[in-house]
Amino acid sequence: MTTPESNAARPAHGTWPPRPPLRVILAAVALLLLHFTLAVAGKRAASTSTDELAHLTAGFSYWQNHDYRLHPENGNLPQRWAALPGWLTGAPFPNLNGNEYWRTSDVWIVGHQFFYESGADHFPRLMAGRAMTALFSVGTGVLVLLWSWRFFGPTGALVSLTFFVFSPDFLAHGALATSDGCMVFFFLAATAAWWRHLHDGRAVIWWLSALVLGLAFVAKYSAVLLVPMMIAMAAVRAWAPAPWQVGRWRLTTPLGKFGVAALSAVGHAAIVALVIWAFYGFRFAAGNPSLPPADHFIKPWSDFIGKTGLLGEATRALAQLHALPEAFLYGFDYVLFSTKSRSAFLNGEHSLTGWRTFFIWSFLLKTTLPLLITALLLAVTALRQRWRGREDFRRLYPWTPLLALFAIYGGSSIASQLNIGHRHILPLYPVLFIAAGALGTALSSELLWRRAVVAGLLGWHSFEGVRFAPFHLAYFNALAGGPANGRRHLVDSSLDWGQDLPALKHWLETHAQGQPTFLSYFGSGQPSYYGIKARRLAFLNNFKFEDHYAQLEPGVYCISATILQAVYSSELAHWPLESEKEYQTLRALEPLFAVYTQDPARRAELRKDAPTVRWPEAIKRHDRLRMARLTSYLRARQPDAHAGYSILIYRLNAAEVHAATAGSWSEWNQLIQKATLAD
């Protein structure tokens, strides 16, 4: 992974390589500024992605209310960080008195109130939060640059940085007000700081390592994976022949070095606990007793009992002891609960428990081809060197923290049942970017073809990062058929996170003026905020809108990809005969559904005349079943257009609408078969 010359001159820790020329420094600064600009500017054309609403609302509440019940399952640090500009500028928060959603800690409804009902425009503070998060992404770029510079010198460092700067994945998630970009930074920073501490026993380095680790634990709960990484690094360091000077102690034996590392880790744990307590105001109780009272977290903690295993039992035992803040421990237990079973979609299939191959597929489909080729070249080169006896494992020693990060995090991802987004393996990419710095030597080669190959890979990768702007979240490479075919492979936050309402607004204004328009949307954005006038079909969010009946007719149908693939629908992708029978029964009530939702006077009469019918539930169930029947057809039919790749647009005529939603079982089947043959 490193050249003999570079490794001989650059030990794991100690003297840095010579300072690079000014032109290299200026090039690095320019690349980092370009990354920040591309990432943040691209988000001006993106509506609120699903999780951003919850992150910003929770973070604001932490600052203003000193209450930690909202969305504790995600990192306190990135939520506070992204919400800081909004809090400093005095954004209005919803009234808590008599607010039933505050009582139940429902961050989604409180978030809707905060974003869309407060009377203040949410978008400026959303963009400010995105810019704040992008600073963590820039920080990751700096760490990639420094690691690669140590291994490969200035030229290799610029190669690594270029791969990072134009990565569609980091341009997508690096400037979203969520915890993913923040956690990537802390995974890389924490492993680097611990490795440095294992070679430099000075107190200042210890404090740096402990503080970074503490911040990692309030960035995201996946920070627990840093523990086995630290153990692996300590074991490798213990067996390394070089002594370790810690204060007056000069440690030379494996047992001595590992023992002191273990003692150091205990001290690290104490600092981690202190940082956690600080971020929760040094208070155990999640709720602020001076505010209007709350009943429970969004999901009562008692619901997790017996469902989160021994780790959950241990977490609740720590809560009984008040060992750590209540909200932090609840959030960890919530994560354990949510990973046991979660709807997922991959290559046309559905699962509640995920696949071992999910992240392998997402990596192959959402990584740029030039980066995949680079990874393959590096792997082949390493294998050839090993086969020819040229690979000295001592040369891998400086790579210990990066290899530990890649192996442990990668193995954990493959074993995970939480298959909802490619973003969850973002911490693996910096290792690849750093390793790609090995190509820097080829740029100095006398062989023109080597320079041309490397320049071609860098140019191709950069072009991929620019050509699909601002739709980086929907990026898929040519193996997947590009972004337009991404919906066939992955959805949710790998493609469709509710970000394309502005693109839909533009398309409707350009191509569908005056035509009947229907929208089935997945996300936490508010279509009316963007001036989208469409009849609402089944939405997929947590806002608890009042259900109403929409009469279907020929027109423009706009369907989010996640809804199209029925990821979170109980009917999934099939349509059993039982669902058909239930749907036909409910269809008989369609005329009354319209009356019930549109005429308050008649609504009271219907409740009196048909008291056994639970009208709201029946309307909601009918809406879901009708949507499942319609999307079964639309999955077989090519869309006529798309808005930002995540919202598919279909122009449906009267015959299609009738056969898909009102026709007999036979008509519906024939329609799907015809669409399948045409596709």
Q: Which two tokens stand for residue 203?
A: 């107190």
620 and 545: one domain? yes
Query: H-type helices in 166-202, by residue range?
Result: 168-173, 180-197
Q: What is the pLDDT of residue 385?
A: 74
Model-wide pTM > 0.85: yes
Q: What is the pLDDT of residue 577?
A: 83
168 and 26: one domain? yes
| Residue 200 to residue 184: CA distance in whole angstroms | 24
| Residue-wise pLDDT tens digits, 430-475 | 999 999 999 998 887 778 888 999 999 999 999 999 999 999 999 9
429 and 531: one domain? no
Domain membership of residue 127 (yes or no) is: yes
| Residue 659 to residue 670: CA distance in whole angstroms | 9
404 and 508: one domain? no
Longest dimension (CA), the chain: 89
Q: What is the pLDDT of residue 573?
A: 54
Domain membership of residue 124 (yes or no) is: yes
Ranges of residues in the chain with a pLDDT under 70 are 1-18, 387-393, 542, 544-547, 570-573, 612, 679
Domain membership of residue 288 (yes or no) is: no
Give the residue from 434, 451, 466 where a domain finishes. Answer: 434
Give the residue from 434, 451, 472 where a domain finishes. Answer: 434
The residue whose two tokens read 């691209």 is 42
The CB density around residue 446, as the number of other CB atoms within 10 Å, is 6
Domain membership of residue 377 (yes or no) is: yes
152 and 25: one domain? yes
Q: What is the pLDDT of residue 532?
A: 94
388 and 528: one domain? no
Give the residue from 434, 465, 487 where a domain finishes. Answer: 434
Q: What is the pLDDT of residue 570?
A: 60
Domain membership of residue 216 (yes or no) is: no
Domain membership of residue 454 (yes or no) is: no
Count of the separate structural domains present in the chain = 2
Domain membership of residue 550 (yes or no) is: yes
Q: What is the pLDDT of residue 547?
A: 62
Q: What is the pLDDT of residue 542?
A: 63
| Residue 497 to residue 420: CA distance in whole angstroms | 11
CA atoms within 13 A on the CB side of 69: 27
Question: Ramachandran region of residue 245, left (φ > 0), alpha (ψ -120 to 50) or beta?
Answer: beta
Q: What is the pLDDT of residue 1?
A: 38
| Residue-wise pLDDT tens digits, 441-451 | 888 777 888 89
529 and 660: one domain? yes
400 and 529: one domain? no
- Structural domain containing residue 23: 4-178+355-434
| Residue-wise pLDDT tens digits, 351-380 | 888 899 999 999 999 999 999 999 999 998
617 and 506: one domain? yes
Domain membership of residue 275 (yes or no) is: no
